[in-house]
Amino acid sequence: MTPSLMNILKDNTLTGDNYVTWKRKIGLLLQSEKHKFVLTTPKPPAPNNESSIMYRDEYEQWKTSDDMAKCYIMATISDVLQQQHEGMESAADIMMSLEEMFAMKSRTTKREAVTAFMNLRMKPGQAVKDHMMKVIAHLNIAELHGAEIDVQIGLHFEQKGIHLTRPDARCSKC
């Protein structure tokens, strides 16, 4: 493991409030180490005496990757969460449990960010740049927590006279 990956482990312990960021970073870590597939691939049945060598190798690869993924996940969660999840069979089970525990906070944060975005109004005399920075911040928070931001938002800005693609954007209504 590279030193930068060790820093990710050290600096990003899941405490609850940081679930979305932690989930993204643990996903990147597992992907870089080629273990992420165990989160979406079901555990294969254990090989028996009649199983081919290729099947046994595939099973061993899945088992090794799952063990590594569990270690990375357990190393990046708080001590209390480690105690709650240490008996779980697979990395996917741990991730599902954590999702159940913390996803509701993420949905609430997403809803709050979307509401704040929808209620955001440009104040008279406010610079377009300052207003747009607030807009972008709300959209980034919403997107980070799972909101899908699409082209329609950009079209809405264009209709309001705000051109997001130009660096010298000016509000024609101001």
Q: What is the pLDDT of residues 39-62, one digit of tens each?
A: 998 888 888 888 888 888 999 999
Give the model's pLDDT for residue 90: 92
- pTM for the model: 0.60
Same domain, 56 and 129: no
Same domain, 72 and 126: no
Q: How many CA atoms lie within 13 A of 104 on its CB side?
A: 3
State whether residue 165 is helix, strand or coil: coil
With cut-offs at 50, 70 and 90, classify the pLDDT of residue 172: very low
Average confidence (pLDDT) over 76-92: 88
pLDDT at 76 over 60: yes
Same domain, 17 and 77: yes
State whether residue 122 is helix, strand or coil: coil
In a domain, 109, yes or no: no
For residues 61 and 72, the answer to whether their CB atoms sit within 8 Å is: no
Query: How close are the terminal C-alpha atoms of the chain, in Å?
Result: 54
In a domain, 16, yes or no: yes
- Give the domain extent around 7: 3-98
- 12-43 confidence digits (pLDDT tens): 788 777 787 888 888 888 898 899 999 998 88
Positive or negative: CA dihedral 28, 33, 37, 43: negative
Give the angle 138-140-145 at the CA atoms, nearest 5°.
100
Task: Locate 14 and state its tokens.
Answer: 């899941």
Give the model's pLDDT for residue 133: 83
* CB-based burial, 36-68: b 16+ in 10 Å, e otherwise: bebbeeeeeeeeeeeeeeeeeeebeebeebbeb
Same domain, 30 and 83: yes
User: Mean pLDDT in the chain?
Assistant: 77
Give the model's pLDDT for residue 8: 65
Same domain, 19 and 84: yes
Highest mean pLDDT among 15-19, 73-77, 136-140: 73-77
For residues 100 and 121, the answer to whether their CB atoms sit within 8 Å is: no
The Cα–Cα gap between 15 and 102 comes to 10
Same domain, 147 and 79: no
**For the chain, what is the domain count?**
2
